[in-house]
Amino acid sequence: MRSTYRKGLAWMAVMSLVLAACAQDTATTTTAAPAPTDTTAATPDTTAAATPDTTMGEMTVATDVGVTEEPCPGGNPDRGCIYLGVLTDESGPFQAAAPALYGGQQLFWATVNAGDGIGGAYDVALPEDLKKDTAYQPDKFVADYNQIAGDVAAIAQSLGTSQSIAAIPDYERDHTVAAPMSWWSGWAFEDNIIEFGTNYCFEAMNAIDWAAGAFPAQSRELGTIGILAIPNDYGADYSAGVKMAAEANGIEIAWEQAVIPASAGGDATQTEAVAKIAADTPDLVILVVGPSETAAIVGGAAQQLGATVPLFIGAAPSWNSALLASPAAPAFEAGIFFQSSFVPGWDTDSVGHEKMRAAVDSIGQAPNDFWISGWVSQYGLKSALDGAFDSGDLTKAGIEAAALALETVDYEGMMPERSFAGAANDVFPRESVMGAFSADASTGIETVQDFFVGPTGSAFEFSAACGG
Q: Decide which of 262 and 178 is more confident.
A: 178
Q: Is residue 80 pLDDT above 50, yes or no?
A: yes
Reply yes or no on whether the pLDDT at 241 is more than 70. yes
| pLDDT for position 81 | 98
State pLDDT tens for residues 346-379: 999 999 999 999 999 999 999 999 999 999 999 9
What's the pLDDT at 47?
38
What are 157-214's pLDDT values in tens digits?
A: 999 999 999 999 999 999 999 999 999 999 999 999 999 999 999 999 999 999 999 9
40 and 128 Cβ atoms separated by less than 8 Å: yes
Describe the crossing of helices 233-248 and 161-174 by its angle, rounded to 10 degrees: 110
138 lies in which domain range? 54-197+348-427
Looking at the structure, tell me whether residues 213 and 226 fall in a common domain.
Answer: yes
Helix (H) or strand (E) segment spanning residue 251: none
261 falls within a domain: yes
Q: Would you say residue 431 has pLDDT above 70?
A: yes
Residue 25 lies in a domain: no
- The three-state secondary structure class of 286 is strand
pLDDT reported for residue 264: 85
In terms of domains, do 303 and 443 share one? yes
Give the pLDDT score at 66.
98
- Residue 19 inside a domain? The answer is no
Query: Is the residue at 449 inside a domain?
Result: yes
Sheet hosting strand 284-288, strand order edge to edge: 252-258, 224-229, 284-288, 311-314, 337-341, 432-437, 445-452
**How many domains does the chain divide into?**
2
Given a cut of 80, whether residue 20 has pLDDT beyond it is: no
Chain-wide mean pLDDT for the chain?
A: 89
Co-location of 213 and 130 in the same domain: no
Asked if residue 124 is part of any domain, the answer here is yes
Closest to 290 (Cα-Cα) out of 182, 435, 446, 438? 182
| pTM of structure | 0.86
CA end-to-end distance (rounded Å), the chain: 23
CATH number at residue 289: 3.40.50.2300
> Residue 57: what pLDDT?
54
Per-residue pLDDT band for 59 (boundaries 50, 70, 90) equals confident
Specify if 23 maps to a domain. no
- How many distinct helices (H) and strands (E) make up the chain? 14, 18
- 294 and 359, same domain (yes or no): no
Judged against a pLDDT cut of 90, whether residue 49 lies above it is answered with: no
Would the pLDDT of 7 be above 60? no
pLDDT tens-digit readout, 291-341: 999 999 999 999 999 999 999 999 999 998 989 999 999 999 999 999 999
Whether 445 and 305 map to the same domain: the answer is yes
